[in-house]
Structure 1
Amino acid sequence: MDTGHLKMEGFEMKDFLYSLGSFSAGLLSNPISTFAIFYYVDVLKAPVEKISLVMLLYGLWNAVNDPLFGYLSDITKTRWGRRRPYIFFFSLPLALSFAFLWAPPFDASKPTALVLYYAVMIFLFDSFFTIVILNWTALFPEMYPTLQQRAKVSALRQILGIPSLLIGVAATPMIVARLGWQKMGVIFAIVGGSLLYLSLLGVRENPKFYSKESLKLSEAIKHTFLNKSFITYVSASFLLQYTYTALLAALPFYAKYVLKLNETQTTLLLAMIFVFTFLLVPVWQRFTPKLGAKKTMMVSMILWAILLSGFAFIKTFVQGLILACCLALSLAGAFIILDIMIAEIADEDEVKTGRRREGMYFGANALIIRLGISLNSLIMGLVLSKSGYDPNLPVEGQP
């Protein structure tokens, strides 16, 4: 078998190794997006208004670093490639910043110091995460040029990535209950960092894509944000990613204070979403080449919007489990298609500019997504504050 190409009968070892980065990305990002605010506000009792302000500033920083790091990646020229050096040199700092975020040396008796520590660590983590994962993701369109290849490898990435969601989101409460937040951070950091280095063994870069003269930053920004295909895609992607992030961030509070669930039930509720998503990914992988990228995204988004409204009606744990299973139907399609859409946009851009600029497009897309995450954090903070939420009160005493 020729190991240089993806074969229809299965995946090559390089595809599996490269896709391990998806497990690392999920294992390191999802505990933070789901539990970081909960940990600092509900567990450590940090002032919710100050944490919200930190997240607003964090969103402004993201407005700069995502497209900037994407542009720098596109114009980088080394003997080891454009993307490899960033993954190699920044995976260790990424893992360390994750571990330290869960081990603050301050408690509620020093609220200002606690908030400042959170600000420093979340900024460092996000910067390193952007550098590493953006470069890892930008390799995808270059390594897999056809829709059929992209659908298969995207499915493989999700098959490896969804277990990290189960561990990083659904299993985190149980892990923390047994080991504590600090040990959880250390274990996840070691596993996530190690697999990022292992993923480098599956990376292949084509020198012809970085041998041409690069666009100037102003030209790169212009071609990116005036691309009608990209603007259309990123508008839809923003809505999808924002609601997904809001769901993950709100579920711990929703499960505890609305459905009155214990930690085990909360874990099961989160797990059902990702278990069924895992099972449905191969189904979407088969249909994506037949439907095409645009139709696949439209179908998954319409299903997501309809099913998400179900949270307004559920009252019991069993109803929550049923809704979680239904949400997986749309989520599996979204997981597969998002990066494929950007890959097609990068293909279209190459025809116009004569250059491969995946880094800029993934960076610009991340900018929009991260602004949504920051907006979600700000809104959550305001809702918790204005609703009269008090982490010191028992469940029955909450408004």
Structure 2
Amino acid sequence: MSRTRMIAYSAGSLAAALSYQCFGTYVQFFYIDVLKLAAGWVGVAMVVYGIWNAFNDPLAGQISDRTRTRWGRRIPYIAFGTLPLILCFILVWTPPFRTERGQALWLFVYFFLIIHLFDTLWTFVILNWTALFPEMFPDLRQRAEVSGWRQFFSIPGLILGIALPPMVYGSLGWPWMGIIFGLITGIFLYISLWGSREHPEFQRDEPLSFREALRATLANRAFRLFLVANLCIQFTFVMLTATTPFYAKYVLGLGDAETSAMLGAVFVTALPFLYLWTKVAQRFGSRQALLAALGLFAVALLPFLAIRDFRGAIAATTGMGAGLAGLLMLTDLLIADVVDEDELGTGVRREGMYFGMNGFVIRFAVSIQSLILTQTLRASGYVPDLPSQPGSVLLGLRLLMTAVPIIALAIAFLATRAYPLHGDRLVQVKARVMRLHEEKRAGRVPRPAR
């Protein structure tokens, strides 16, 4: 595949990151603070949403794996789901009901329905776009390069989805923010669609039932170890993101602009290191590269035990960027190898179920992080809005920025060390998969016993 199409496919990362970060960061603020919908009602809707958000990933993955059309298994969901996704994203920010007109109940119903519809469409479109990655790029060299390009687009999407909305809705209003961001999302998804392709021989595979698919997925030892590592990595991300505003305000005494600069420095620094990690993965393998990234990121957190000012914070967060780049791009390489090995046992390409189950498991990272953060604040004596917090709170925040994520990274390191798809075994898997694909293209592959 040409580099142009590889880059085009990767552009979908900007759409995925921009739309979901904007939604996740601002939707509750918009409905509670701007539209004055009762926070309790929003909380109820978000609890149900959280449950649906977890379970719809494996469901969408299994449906995708079983889809058979003349356009392929994944591409139809992207091609025909993108426009409804854009419209739904816009509708999130343009509700027709207002509490001041006595329509609070209708606004709640609208909010409940629209967030579930948005998440369902987002899952089907983005999961299928993600599931194309292992199929389109079968060898490590291509996978490492494309994973680097994906994160090259994803990081600006993250920054724009978090930092840009206040400037847009502050000057143009919330509806125009929805329209502008929705159009950007659509443009990059359609660019990605142009760069996407499927192999028709995989549609001839006889799909597994949901029970068979779930059993085979959870029985995969390499996948279970990957889930442990990835859950810990995602937990580290959300813990640091959630703790940073408290740490910046109370430990360092920084304002909002300086806090944004802290977060921005991490992502900006990560961009140039994507190329380096691509080369490391191609040279030493994805498992070895991930082990190095985990160690580097853990070491980069240690300065947060001691820094006391903005200059130190920028230096520390800049150091985090090098390891962050590796963590962002390398996990997809490991799960792609898992999918390859699974095909040897089941005879079927099942990217949808694997990416769906991964999405299901990593949702728990937010719940675990929230529990640890809130209980640490409570136990340490945190009092909201005090200009200065007691020393016990400051110590707790330093530990949340260092010890807690470092423990999670250590668990991820051990799980990655035990991950079996590397070295000679991985070489053998790749060779057998190549032969299997040649047989599938020739139309002479029996279904393996299950």
Assess same fold via TM > 0.5.
yes
Tell me if 1:356 matches 2:349.
yes
Is 1:59–1:374's contact at 8 Å kept on the other side of the alignment?
no
Is 2:65–2:351's contact at 8 Å kept on the other side of the alignment?
yes
Is 2:54–2:359's contact at 8 Å kept on the other side of the alignment?
no
Q: How many Å separate the matches in 1 of 2:114 and 2:238?
A: 20
* Greater alpha carbon shift after TM alignment, 108-117 vs 321-330: 108-117
What percentage of residue pairs aligned between the two structures are identical? 41
From 110, 116, 125, the equivalent of 1:132 is: 125
**Counterpart mapping for 1:135-146 below 5 A:** 135-146=128-139
1:81 aligned counterpart, secondary structure: coil
Q: Which residue of 2 aligns with 1:81?
A: 72
From 137, 156, 159, the equivalent of 1:163 is: 156
The one-letter code of the counterpart of 1:316 is: D
Q: Which residue of 2 aligns with 1:232?
A: 225
- By how many angstroms is 1:379 displaced? 6.7
- By how many angstroms is 1:258 displaced? 6.0
Q: How many Å separate the matches in 2 of 1:256 and 1:113?
A: 38
The one-letter code of the counterpart of 2:23 is: I
Deviation string 1:320-363 (CA, Å, 9 cap, x unpaired) is 32222122111100111111111100001011111111111011
Tell me if 1:94 matches 2:70.
no
Q: How many Å separate the matches in 1 of 2:31 and 2:304?
A: 26
Q: 1:376 to 1:102 in 2, by over 3 A?
A: farther
What is the TM-score normalised by the length of structure 1? Answer: 0.85
**Counterpart mapping for 1:17-96 below 5 A:** 17-40=8-31, 51-96=42-87
Deviation string 1:226-271 (CA, Å, 9 cap, x unpaired) is 1100000011101111221343345456556665544433332222
* Greater alpha carbon shift after TM alignment, 226-235 vs 98-107: 98-107
Tell me if 1:243 matches 2:236.
yes
Q: How many Å separate the matches in 2 of 1:361 and 1:311?
A: 36
* Greater alpha carbon shift after TM alignment, 274-283 vs 27-36: 27-36
The one-letter code of the counterpart of 1:221 is: L
Is 1:33–1:245's contact at 8 Å kept on the other side of the alignment?
no
Tell me if 1:194 matches 2:187.
yes
- By how many angstroms is 1:120 displaced? 3.0
Q: How many Å separate the matches in 2 of 1:297 and 1:323?
A: 21
Q: Which residue of 1 aligns with 2:407?
A: none
What is the RMSD of the two structures over their aligned residues, measured on CA atoms?
A: 3.2
- By how many angstroms is 1:289 displaced? 1.7
2:363 aligned counterpart, secondary structure: helix
**Counterpart mapping for 1:245-284 below 5 A:** 245-252=238-245, 255=248, 259=252, 261-284=254-277
**Counterpart mapping for 1:9-20 below 5 A:** 11=3, 13-20=4-11
Q: How many Å separate the matches in 2 of 1:314 and 1:178?
A: 36
Q: How many Å separate the matches in 2 of 1:311 and 1:36?
A: 31
- By how many angstroms is 1:290 displaced? 1.9
From 203, 206, 210, the equivalent of 1:210 is: 203
Q: How many Å separate the matches in 2 of 1:231 and 1:256?
A: 38
Is 1:95–1:192's contact at 8 Å kept on the other side of the alignment?
yes
Give ranges in structure 1 of 5+ residues lacking alignment.
Answer: none
- By how many angstroms is 1:312 displaced? 5.3
* Greater alpha carbon shift after TM alignment, 273-282 vs 301-310: 301-310
The one-letter code of the counterpart of 1:73 is: S
Q: How many Å separate the matches in 1 of 2:31 and 2:250?
A: 18
Q: 1:398 to 1:175 in 2, by over 3 A?
A: farther
**Counterpart mapping for 1:114-129 below 5 A:** 117-129=110-122
What is the TM-score normalised by the length of structure 2? Answer: 0.76
- By how many angstroms is 1:317 displaced? 2.7
1:183 aligned counterpart, secondary structure: helix
Q: Which residue of 2 aligns with 1:366?
A: 359
Is 2:262–2:314's contact at 8 Å kept on the other side of the alignment?
yes
Number of residues of Structure 1 aligned to a counterpart in Structure 2: 387
Q: 1:249 to 1:53 in 2, by over 3 A?
A: farther
Q: How many Å separate the matches in 1 of 2:32 and 2:382?
A: 14
Give ranges in structure 2 of 5+ residues lacking alignment.
Answer: 391-450
Is 2:250–2:388's contact at 8 Å kept on the other side of the alignment?
no
Is 2:293–2:326's contact at 8 Å kept on the other side of the alignment?
yes
